[in-house]
Amino acid sequence: MAESLVPGEVPVSLNEARSWLRLGATIDDAVVAGLVRAATSVCEAFVGQWLIVRAGEDILPLAPGGVIQPGARPVVGIDAVDLLLPDGGTVALAAGDYRTAIGRDGTARVTIDDPRGAERACVAYRAGIAEGANDIPEAIRQGILRMTQHLHDARDGAGAAPPAAIAALWQPWRRLTLGGGQ
């Protein structure tokens, strides 16, 4: 499972969400900020991609041939690869000790030339659709605002399903895989 090393910027500001919800200044700021983060997480899970570029790290088993594939998408760069040795030690690999390939769909593949007996590796990378909140497509941002509103309205336990408009806004950016692949 991909793990973000930093919480990440959200694509919708607190003021923007508060305005969308028609709330006055500083009313329920902590609640609204939490709802925006939750809506952003729901969006990332739905589209299968991180929205704003942030650092991530995965500890993965080495497949035959020394191959590992980070779980987050779209990967924009591999920063480091460390081998996790059976005796508990680690070996930091130089850039020439592994090859990387990043597909058009944002999936990354790292091939370690000499795994040195390691069965697992730690890969540090950066992944995300956009460099900053202003670079996120407006349809995604509108979906996050609508999901924030839905979560706000349902905070007292009202169990209505999210509006279909949210899925329609996010659908063009949805990336799915078949089977157990990343």
Query: pLDDT tens digits, residue range 57-110?
Result: 999 999 999 999 998 999 999 999 999 999 999 999 999 999 999 999 899 999
Please check whether residue 110 is in contact with residue 68, taking contact to mean a CB–CB distance below 8 angstroms.
Answer: yes
148 or 26: which carries more pLDDT confidence? 148
Question: By C-alpha distance, which of 37, 48, 14, 73 is closest to 147?
Answer: 37
For 113-146, give the DSSP string. S--TT-SEEEEEEEE-SBSSGGGS-HHHHHHHHH
Which residues, 6 or more positions from 170, have their beta carbon under 8 angstroms from its beta carbon? 43, 46, 47, 139, 140, 143
Beta partners for residue 55, in sequence order: 126
Which residues, 6 or more positions from 111, have their beta carbon under 8 angstroms from its beta carbon? 65, 66, 67, 98, 99, 100, 101
Which residues, 6 or more positions from 169, have their beta carbon under 8 angstroms from its beta carbon? 139, 140, 142, 143, 146
Identify the pLDDT of residue 182.
45
Identify the H or E element spanning 170: helix 164-170
Neighbours of 20 (CB within 10 A): 18
Question: By C-alpha distance, which of 55, 56, 7 is closest to 33?
Answer: 7
Q: Does residue 173 surpass a pLDDT of 50?
A: yes
Query: pLDDT tens digits, residue range 147-164?
Result: 999 999 998 776 788 999
Query: pLDDT tens digits, residue range 127-137?
Result: 999 999 999 99
For all residues of the chain together, what is the average pLDDT? Answer: 90
d(CA 139, CA 166): 9
DSSP 1: -
Identify the H or E element spanning 29: helix 29-47
